[in-house]
Every structure is written in C-alpha cells, then in structure tokens.
Structure 1
Amino acid sequence: MALFNDAILATDATLTAWVVGSQRNGNIVPFANGSGAMWIAPGCSSFTNISLAILAFVALVNVTSARWTSATLGLGALTCTLVVLINVTRISLIGYYPGQFELIHGSVGANIAGWLTTLLIMAMALLAVRRNDINLG
C-alpha cells in the first residue's frame, strides 16, 4: 500500500481541486474564494482509510468464510471509492469554507468523517457477506 501513497494523495488533491473549481499545484489546492490555499498533508490523504477498508473487508469476508467472488471484489472496490469520496468531501468543504477550518478539520469534522467511514466500511462488508450467503442458498 505504501507504494500507492503518493498516487492516492495526488488523486485526493486532483479531485478536491476539481470539486472546488481550482487547479492544484502538487498537494496545494487554492480555496474556492481565492483567499489562499491549503496543503493536503500525507496524513490527510485517503491512504489510511483505504487501508482500513481493505483490512476490514478482507477480515470480515474471511472470518465469515464467505467466498471471494467478482461481486465481492466489486463491492470492496466500491467501498474504497466511497471512502475516498468521504475524504475528498471533507477536504473540499475546507476549500469552500476556509474560515471553518477548525470545525471541519478538528475533532468535530474528524469524528463525523471517521464514523461515516467506519459505518460505510462495515455496511459494505456486511452487504458483501450477506450477498454471498444469499447466493450460496
């Protein structure tokens, strides 16, 4: 996964710049109102959440003895994509509302994003396992 960290960070910056309507310069994305810019630090990338999504997904599928099918892999990939979406949304909100940086990036925003990510990962993994059980019928 560490090999993909820079690519994931660049993807986060590109998607955030696209949402905010600006152009990125490396990991720097200008605010939507042009009042400044934000630097997306490696710790703020989707890397950690993608790693957690893969770990949780693999663990739940293996613990339940579910079969790995193309549908299961597809739901895993969708989960990773949605995890990136949550992170990019949070970063983009900072780009739109830089005056609310502490709220969005601080403990309130981190907790909301963390719980949304956790619930999404678990729901998607359970959906994959449940779907697998139904198909085994």
Structure 2
Amino acid sequence: MMNSAATRMSVSQIDAYLDEVFPQLHHGGRTYVVEAVGPMTARMRCDYHERHLRPGGTLSGPTMMTLADVALYVAILAQIGPVALAVTTNLNVNFLRKPGQAALIGEARLLKLGKRLAVGEVAIYSQGEAEMVCHATGTYSIPAA
C-alpha cells in the first residue's frame, strides 16, 4: 500500500489533518502513525507503549479498537478528502489471540465506498508476526456534500 495518484490525500496531508481535527488522538504522545494509503486501503501502526497494556501484560482491546477505527477513517479520507463529519456508525471487533508487547499494524481495506456509506475491514497484527491478533469490520456514515 503506497501513496497513489488514485488517492485524494497523501500520508502527510492526512497526518496534518488528523493533528488539526483530532489532536486528542496523540494525548500523552504520538503512538498512532499513518504508514501508507492507497486505492481503498490504508496501513497504520500503533507503537507499543505501557499505557496500552491491560492486566496480564497484553495490549488492551480499546487500543486495538482505536487502531481499527482510525485506520478505516484514514482509508476513507484518502479516497474522499478531508471530511471531518464522516463518522463511525458500526464497529465490530473480533479479538483472535493475545498480541505481544510490540507495535500493532492495522491493514484497512474498504469493501464499499458509496456516497453516504463506507464499509471496510481491518486486519491487525503484532509487528513482525504473521498471525492476525484482531479482525474488525466497520461502517462509516458520510455526510452529504
């Protein structure tokens, strides 16, 4: 997944936009990073940090849910441009296995991008591991132009 002429926003444009409209995403330090965008896709990384741990030493569910939600939003922004009021209407998350104490990689893919709805999925992996730790599907509502 690389920046592509088929996208309306680049990684650097999306980063700047997220910093502007969602500065709270980086509260306590930047850990969610947009790595790549492409046609109907985005890849994000959540850097490992102790604040993401839950009892038992695993990365928390809310950390993975945030990564999935933001990765879908980034994939949508890359396609439609800066639309702040595109909002999550559904997020379904399946935790498949305990992630290690490592960065998480979220690979988002849009399954449908219509005028009013976007549907996508995100596969989340522990960095360096081949087995998925979490799978999420989500729907976003896109406001009328």
TM-score by length of 1: 0.31
TM-score calculated relative to the size of structure 2: 0.30
